Structure 1
Amino acid sequence: MRALSRTASCWLAAALLACAAMTARAAALDPIELASGVYMVAGTGGEPDGANLGRVGNTGFIVGRKGVLVIDTGTSYRHGRALLDAIRSVTDKPVRLAIVTHTRQEFLFGAAAFREQGIPVAMHQAAAGLMASRCETCLKTLRATLGEDEMRGTTMFEPDIRFTTPPGLDAATLIGRSIQVLYFGHSSGPGDVAVFDPVTGTLFAGGLLDAQRIPDVFDSDLPAWGEALHTLQALPLEVIVPGHGPAGTKRLVTQTERYLDQLTTRVRALLTAGAPLSEVPDATALPEFAAWDQYATVHRRNAALVYLRYEREQLLK
């Protein structure tokens, strides 16, 4: 019996080691070089859960002569640490700055790992204000969803740099590479920005664009968002890293424009026809986008939100 117990113990120990190795591999991040010195770290898509560790959104970084600029910091302290490890697997140049492009939980809370190492985190003033007003709740939800262990060390934070106009960030001096931070006012959300590398034509779109995923209109100013997308169409874009989903070309801008146009057109028609709010989510079916991530949830919510906005506009006339 003792021999059997020792054998069983060996098998158990081996299994635990194998599980630990699998977890470490799952937690590791693999940077994808999209253009010279420009890297994307892909998220899983979907909603945060224990299987994807909440790492559903894309992050990335740009390597210059003097250092590295990081775009978005991930979901948790542990995710931020993994992102820093991924950067060090590519370059030994120091990380000089991290920019958070917009206020969604999967892009924010890795900031603790950066700030721990003295790396400043920058956000637009409006995005920072939105985070302060509601993201304690986001953090509680993530802790409940992912567990205390995965979220250990993850905290709310104050950005080290708040800016109102992108020229306030001098990336050329920091990393030795000219980078443009694009701000279009309150568009996809208050304080949402994009990061453009003019050398390679690569755009990190943040909240302005998703790929094969329903864009969330909750925080948006829809007319201003449409104008921002029109402006993006005029840029010399070669590669776009969306907030969620695979990298692509300007077609991502066109697809987002089409979704928003079809959504608003359909909802306005329902309002004009006198459809009640209770019928709007089902009546706003858009087959062209039915296969996109979050269609069954975010799209239905989008339809109801837009209906309420247009109804309010009518009442105020």
Structure 2
Amino acid sequence: MQAGRRSLLTALALASTAPWLARARAAEPSATTSTAIEVEAGVYMMQGAPGEASAANLGRVGNAGFIVGRAGVIAVDTGTSFQHGEALLQAIAQVTDKPVRLALVTHARQEFLFGAAAFQARGIPVQMHRRAAQLMASRCDGCLKALQRELGEEAMRGTTVFRPDEVFDDSHAMDMIGRPVLVQYHGHSSGPGDIAVFDLRTGTLFGGGLIDHRRIPDVQDSDLEGWKRALAGLRTLKLSTVVPGHGTMTTPDVIDSVERYLLRLEARVAALLRQGAPLSEVPDAADLPEYRQWDQYDTIHRRNASIVFLRLERALMFGEPPTGAPR
């Protein structure tokens, strides 16, 4: 009797999650597809491939998406190249004939921003936080040259370092598409000027640089304490679905997953510093076995360990907060 009841409950649970799982499995990454997956009503994503940007994946390793309202569309992140921006616009056109009112770039990493030029070419304004735009301007000429070498001139044809049409400094609500959207800024976190985009109607969050799913978060531009505060702020939202910067769409539990990694990283590196480990040994000694299956463990995690070690060492020597990120 008890076994039968458990079987029934299991079946009901699977039935209730089946539509969500089907959408998640349908969002398979592809370097060439221009088809978007509807993750919630009127909210779509185009999923990037795992791994680093390469000729094989044409650099499409970051997620992008869009929100469709009764009066138009807002795009969230734009891809690694002009061609990716065009593919996103094509995906939007397959879903709706409503005008694209705006493209929001959530943070200054190459796989999210270079497609913006395709939007500007069609007269669609591009917005970024002021500090993210400043970081992009300071380094993305080098990013573009590296991508051209890695992906080839054809894949990057038409791609330029753009200037956003509009910048902003704080969180704000938007209703330009006849659907309330909240831009969330919690200060310097995963990067200076990193934002999240929240669709109030469905409870869907585009996490940008703040949230990756089963991929090692990159601390290079971060203020770790600010990142934790930002994650706490995201927990106050009524979330149903999260579209991360990298990885498959997922549940709000991903916020805890990201924070646990950051805490475990800090604790492990702090222990190595106390033990007197030299920097040269840190990437190997900072092994966190529970994260070995996450994308980019062998590259980003090792770099993260070195970055955090240097920040903690500097804080110990000079009595400074261990932020160490660009100002």
- The normalised TM-score by structure 1 is 0.90
Report how far residue 141 of structure 1 moved: 0.5
Q: Which has the larger radius of gyration?
A: 1
What do residues 178-200 of structure 1 show as CA deviations (whole Å, max 9, x unaligned)?
10000000000000000001110
Match of 2:239 in 1: 237
What do residues 247-290 of structure 1 show as CA deviations (whole Å, max 9, x unaligned)?
10112111111100100001111111111111111111101100
Correspondent of 1:171 among 151, 169, 174: 174
Report how far residue 226 of structure 1 moved: 0.7
Report how far residue 146 of structure 1 moved: 0.8
Misfit runs of 4+, over 4 Å: none
- Cα distance in 2 for partners of 1:50, 1:279 equals 32
1:111 aligns with 2:113: no
Equivalent position SS for 1:84: helix
- Cα distance in 2 for partners of 1:34, 1:28 equals 17
- Cα distance in 2 for partners of 1:218, 1:88 equals 36
What do residues 114-140 of structure 1 show as CA deviations (whole Å, max 9, x unaligned)?
000000000000000000000000000
Match of 1:184 in 2: 186
Match of 2:125 in 1: 120
- Cα distance in 2 for partners of 1:26, 1:37 equals 24
Report how far residue 26 of structure 1 moved: 5.2
- Cα distance in 2 for partners of 1:85, 1:30 equals 8
Match of 1:10 in 2: none
Match of 1:22 in 2: none
- Cα distance in 2 for partners of 1:263, 1:211 equals 16
Match of 2:3 in 1: none
Match of 1:220 in 2: 222
- Which structure 1 residue ranges, 5 or more long, are not aligned? 1-24
- The normalised TM-score by structure 2 is 0.87
Count of aligned positions: 290
Correspondent of 1:153 among 152, 158, 170: 158
Match of 1:296 in 2: 298
Equivalent position SS for 2:95: coil
Match of 1:286 in 2: 288
What do residues 41-62 of structure 1 show as CA deviations (whole Å, max 9, x unaligned)?
1111211111111010000000
Equivalent position SS for 2:39: strand
Match of 2:45 in 1: 40
Whether the 8 Å contact between 2:31 and 2:49 is mirrored in structure 1 is no
Name the aligned partner's letter for residue 57 of structure 1.
G
Name the aligned partner's letter for residue 90 of structure 2.
D
- Cα distance in 2 for partners of 1:26, 1:257 equals 30
Name the aligned partner's letter for residue 61 of structure 1.
F
Q: How does 1:238-253 map to 2 (within 5 A)?
A: 238-253=240-255
1:308 aligns with 2:313: no
What do residues 270-312 of structure 1 show as CA deviations (whole Å, max 9, x unaligned)?
1111111111111111011001111001100000100000000
Match of 2:144 in 1: 139
- Which structure 2 residue ranges, 5 or more long, are not aligned? 1-29, 320-327
Equivalent position SS for 1:27: coil
Match of 1:89 in 2: 94
Match of 2:73 in 1: 68
Name the aligned partner's letter for residue 31 of structure 1.
A
Match of 1:13 in 2: none
Match of 2:209 in 1: 207
- Cα distance in 1 for partners of 2:86, 2:211 equals 26
Q: How does 1:21-32 map to 2 (within 5 A)?
A: 27-32=32-37
Equivalent position SS for 1:62: strand
- Cα distance in 1 for partners of 2:236, 2:276 equals 38
- Cα distance in 2 for partners of 1:241, 1:35 equals 10
Equivalent position SS for 1:115: helix
Name the aligned partner's letter for residue 306 of structure 1.
V
